[in-house]
Structure 1
Amino acid sequence: MSHVKGEERGKNGMLSTTWKKGLATITSVGLIGVLLVGCGAATSPGNNAGGNAQANAGKPVEGGSITLDTSQAVPDLDPAVAFDTTSAEVDYAIYDQLVTYQKNTYNIVGDLATNWDVSQDGKTYTFHIRKGVKYSNGDPLTAHDFVFELQRLLNKNMQPKPSPGSTFFFDITGAQAYYEGKAKTISGVSTPDDYTLVIHLDKPENFFLKILAMPFLSAVDPKFVQQAGNAAMDTTKAMGTGPFALQTNAQNQVVLVKNKNYWQKDKSGNQLPYLDKITINVNNNGQLSAMHWEQGQTAFLSPWLMGGDGIPSSQYPTIMHTPKYSNLVQKQDMNAIYYYGLNTSPTVDGKKNPLSNPTVRKAIEFAFDDSQIVKLNNGAVKGLNQPLPDSLEGYVKNLDPSAQYSYNPAKAKQLLSQAGYANGFTIDVWNENTDGAKKEDQAFQAMLKQIGITVNLHEVAWKDFLTKSMSGTAQAFGSGWNQDFPDASDFLNTLFSSAQIPQNNMTNYSNPQVDQWLNQAQYSTDVQQRDQLYGKVVNKVMSDAVIVPLYQNVGYYCVQPWVHDFYTSPVMYDPFAYIWIDPGH
């Protein structure tokens, strides 16, 4: 995404997403989209499904095409600037990175790098680039192409817009100097030969490979970029080594065709991808998209295409409790959290802020009934008790007693009295002005009213919400965070480090001990030590009652029975390269 994308909820109360995540140093939550409002069973593949109907169901069928619906047009084709889910869905089909994730796991495996070596101090990575790889236009891939792309990422004056991912790469030696215009080259990057790329870091970074698996440092063809120009590459042209090539990108449709030069083969030696063509129609009417799927016109619905969880909360009970529907649904935990933030500043807008008192914040925690929020979403979301999703490494299974809260209005009133607010007080809660946000805000308002706290709701346009919350002057606010990459640092360093005040750390929470733990964990290569340090951070943040956790997302995928080898991932997007279709099975 660009600096920040918005958070919107669909009509049924679910937070919907066509974002890509937050940026660990300069962005806040990235969640926008249109919520799907219908999903059902399909009995036939429709006329878009090609392939050999006589094929064995277990043997991939080559050829054919699929049609899909997406809720938004692709904002950015250029992987250097793409930072939203709609763009990433397409870019991952066109471009390859040095490394990627193994199917539906967190395991990093080679992509355009066959293998790599890491120095003993954890600061030097030597990547061995796959030989014989070509771009879809036939140009050969070399290690120099990654240097070219990294220079684009770190060009803060790149036109028509610079990369929002530049700060992810600042730990590369010489990266900041290059970014600031103080050096003409990036001193920490070299190419000893055409198929070797060496990257040196200032400090060891345990999650560096995960950063490289993001789209930013994709292999791009320098010759093509220089000929087409950045503007065209971001809007109408693309040239990658991925399984598909771009045929067209318009506001109403994206068409991808098989890259006949693609390097990867399946385990039987068959050329990937199997599909010849993918047509993605832009359709912001979720109900119509659902009907298309029900009629067999589209191959699948997913959170990456449709936003939200892929199934609307209003339809969730019907789909999940009706076998002919639920049998076509795949489920995947999403590393995304939602919460109410409580501003810890002594004053807000020049007035004394009761929330600066941790005892008051604890009272709010005990007044909050998270089961009501889950019910508002018809059970389609999971409960949350901390600022990490339970699917992420670092999640604390057993919080300290001081960091645990249960619904207890009597205890909440007792704490308010203890803090000197026996008669309650009034606070301002900021959120966006969507129907879903209003539902949750009204529930929160009613909960706090029971303990004597009056909530004034300020539900405004997303742009206005960002202006207020990112200035650090929202007394309380509804927000969320989705992973940039699967690591606890992306959540905890972003939301609770003093260095992130106020753009990302919108609660203005500042604790020197927490900062020390965060900094130590970020550059530790000891996994057990990192987990222990992040555990301390989670317990401290919750003990200080900085946020009121709401829930974590679950992704649901409606997949036609004639679509084979589709799989979900906690990290990656829809597996276009591996799916195949067979109307007979």
Structure 2
Amino acid sequence: MHKTSFKKSLLVAALSLTMANMATAANVPADANLAKKQELVWNVSANPATLDPQKMEGDVEGYFARQLFEMLVTSDEKGHILPGAATSWQHSDDFKTWTFFLRPNAKWSNGDAVTAHDFVYAWQRLADPNTASPYASYLDFLKLENADKVLEGKAKVDELGVEAKDDHTLVLHLTESVPYVDKLVEHYVLSPVHKSVVEKFGDAWTKPGNLVGNGAFKLDSMVVNEKAVLVRNPHYWDNDKTVLEKVTLLPIESAATDVARYRAGDEDVTGKELPIELFAKLKKGL
């Protein structure tokens, strides 16, 4: 993983918005010369405030969310919307009703099936005033029925305009026409969560050994101010195309320390806030 050509491409990638989805499953050309040791060390520049998607805010949390969880849709490096947990979707003529069809083979990292009910639970949890989510208003922005009332505590969470028609069909009911819902549902706060795990462990459900996700990776260990280690999730529906075996995320804030570790071969991806003068210097030296 420390060959110059590979590091150069990663250094450039570290400064782009595509980093959020970098570690997830990918289509690798048949003639690609892959390193024997498929591990990535990535400096995300800070500790995540939480690994609970309904309580997340900020880029760092987003990096973690997109490895540990999978939303209804995802996107490529050009911003094109692609299937995620949902294989397809459709909308009514007035764009007020959206239906997402989930993958029947999607599983949580503990082997349980991912269902539309998991999304309903997560979104209701996001709207619940007791969750105190910094992004709860996103549901109102999405124009889900009764979102404003639920957020204000004037309606019950089960009155929110999202329903599981069956295990693999999620239906959204909106108050207004929103023709770009398929783009909005990529936000990490709309990640599904495993209800029984959340209820069993409470606030501790995001700790290593407890956290169950539906993404390409699962949480192996985490030491605040040191590192978080993610390992390949064997139950992920697209696991056959997951190339990396392990991703280590570092919380290094200092640009000088970040660059020193990079030049020493101790990390593969520098922090996104790398000063442009340091970037130019490193690029010249590669």
TM-score w.r.t. length of structure 2? 0.82
How far, CA to CA, are the matches of 1:216 and 1:62 in structure 2? 35
Q: Decide which of 130, 134, 137 is 1:157's aligned counterpart.
A: 130
How far, CA to CA, are the matches of 1:172 and 1:76 in structure 2? 25
**2:133 alignment partner AA:** S
How far, CA to CA, are the matches of 2:280 and 2:249 in structure 1? 28
What whole-Å deviation, never above 9, does each CA across 1:159-197 have from its counterpart, x for those lacking one?
xxx111111111101222222233321252222211111
Q: Decide which of 228, 233, 257 is 1:254's aligned counterpart.
A: 228
What whole-Å deviation, never above 9, does each CA across 1:291-349 have from its counterpart, x for those lacking one?
22112221122xxxx242x3x133344345x3x53xxxxxxxxxxxxxxxxxxxxxxxx
Cα pair distance change 1:42/1:113, threshold 3 Å: same
> How many angstroms does 1:43 deviate by?
8.1
**1:297 alignment partner AA:** D
**1:133 alignment partner AA:** A
**1:255 alignment partner AA:** V
Q: Secondary structure at the match of 1:68?
A: strand
Q: Is the 8 A contact 2:115 2:168 kept in 1?
A: yes
Q: Decide which of 136, 139, 152 is 1:166's aligned counterpart.
A: 136
What whole-Å deviation, never above 9, does each CA across 1:517-552 have from its counterpart, x for those lacking one?
xxxxxxxxxxxxxxxxxxxxxxxxxxxxxxxxxxxx
Counterparts of 1:78-93 in structure 2, within 5 Å, are 78-93=52-67
How far, CA to CA, are the matches of 2:243 and 2:256 in structure 1? 30
> How many angstroms does 1:106 deviate by?
2.2
Q: Decide which of 70, 74, 85 is 2:44's aligned counterpart.
A: 70
Q: Decide which of 280, 289, 310 is 2:249's aligned counterpart.
A: 280
Q: Decide which of 68, 75, 80 is 1:107's aligned counterpart.
A: 80
> How many angstroms does 1:61 deviate by?
6.0
> How many angstroms does 1:68 deviate by?
2.7
> How many angstroms does 1:93 deviate by?
0.4
How far, CA to CA, are the matches of 1:64 and 1:289 in structure 2? 21
Identity %: 28
**1:195 alignment partner AA:** H
How far, CA to CA, are the matches of 1:183 and 1:97 in structure 2? 26
Query: What residue number does 1:182 align with?
Result: 154
How far, CA to CA, are the matches of 1:181 and 1:43 in structure 2? 55
> How many angstroms does 1:287 deviate by?
1.3
Query: What residue number does 1:524 align with?
Result: none
Query: What residue number does 1:318 align with?
Result: 281
Cα pair distance change 1:64/1:260, threshold 3 Å: same
How far, CA to CA, are the matches of 2:37 and 2:104 in structure 1? 27
How far, CA to CA, are the matches of 1:256 and 1:145 in structure 2? 22
How far, CA to CA, are the matches of 1:44 and 1:163 in structure 2? 39
Cα pair distance change 1:62/1:225, threshold 3 Å: farther
Query: What residue number does 1:117 align with?
Result: 90
Query: Structure 1 stretches of 5 or more lacking a match?
Result: 1-40, 46-55, 266-270, 326-585
Cα pair distance change 1:195/1:316, threshold 3 Å: closer
Cα pair distance change 1:61/1:114, threshold 3 Å: farther
CA-atom RMSD, angstroms?
2.3
Cα pair distance change 1:207/1:66, threshold 3 Å: same
Cα pair distance change 1:44/1:89, threshold 3 Å: closer
Q: Is the 8 A contact 2:137 2:151 kept in 1?
A: no
Between 92-101 and 275-284, report the one with greater CA deviation.
Answer: 275-284
Q: Secondary structure at the match of 2:110?
A: coil
Query: Structure 2 stretches of 5 or more lacking a match?
Result: 8-29
**2:81 alignment partner AA:** I
How far, CA to CA, are the matches of 1:317 and 1:286 in structure 2? 14
> How many angstroms does 1:44 deviate by?
9.6
How far, CA to CA, are the matches of 1:196 and 1:97 in structure 2? 14
Q: Is the 8 A contact 1:128 1:197 kept in 2?
A: yes
How far, CA to CA, are the matches of 2:59 and 2:272 in structure 1? 9
Q: Secondary structure at the match of 1:220?
A: coil
What whole-Å deviation, never above 9, does each CA across 1:111-148 have from its counterpart, x for those lacking one?
11110111000110011111021111111111100000
Query: What residue number does 2:194 align with?
Result: 221
How far, CA to CA, are the matches of 1:226 and 1:154 in structure 2? 17
Query: What residue number does 2:205 align with?
Result: 233
Is 1:243 aligned with 2:206? no
What whole-Å deviation, never above 9, does each CA across 1:197-221 have from its counterpart, x for those lacking one?
1101000123322221010111211
**1:212 alignment partner AA:** V
How far, CA to CA, are the matches of 1:43 and 1:172 in structure 2? 47
Query: What residue number does 2:21 align with?
Result: none
TM-score w.r.t. length of structure 1? 0.41
How far, CA to CA, are the matches of 2:88 and 2:34 in structure 1? 28
How far, CA to CA, are the matches of 1:313 and 1:215 in structure 2? 29
Which structure is higher in RCO with an 8 Å CA cutoff and minimum separation 6? 2
> How many angstroms does 1:59 deviate by?
5.3
**1:165 alignment partner AA:** Y
**2:52 alignment partner AA:** D
The number of aligned residues is: 257
Q: Is the 8 A contact 1:63 1:274 kept in 2?
A: no
What whole-Å deviation, never above 9, does each CA across 1:397-423 have from its counterpart, x for those lacking one?
xxxxxxxxxxxxxxxxxxxxxxxxxxx
Query: What residue number does 1:482 align with?
Result: none
How far, CA to CA, are the matches of 2:93 and 2:108 in structure 1? 34
How far, CA to CA, are the matches of 2:34 and 2:260 in structure 1? 28
Query: What residue number does 2:179 align with?
Result: 206
**1:216 alignment partner AA:** V
How far, CA to CA, are the matches of 1:317 and 1:63 in structure 2? 29
**1:213 alignment partner AA:** E
How far, CA to CA, are the matches of 1:247 and 1:204 in structure 2? 42
How far, CA to CA, are the matches of 2:118 and 2:279 in structure 1? 46
**1:73 alignment partner AA:** N
Cα pair distance change 1:63/1:116, threshold 3 Å: farther
What whole-Å deviation, never above 9, does each CA across 1:365-405 have from its counterpart, x for those lacking one?
xxxxxxxxxxxxxxxxxxxxxxxxxxxxxxxxxxxxxxxxx
How far, CA to CA, are the matches of 2:37 and 2:264 in structure 1? 22
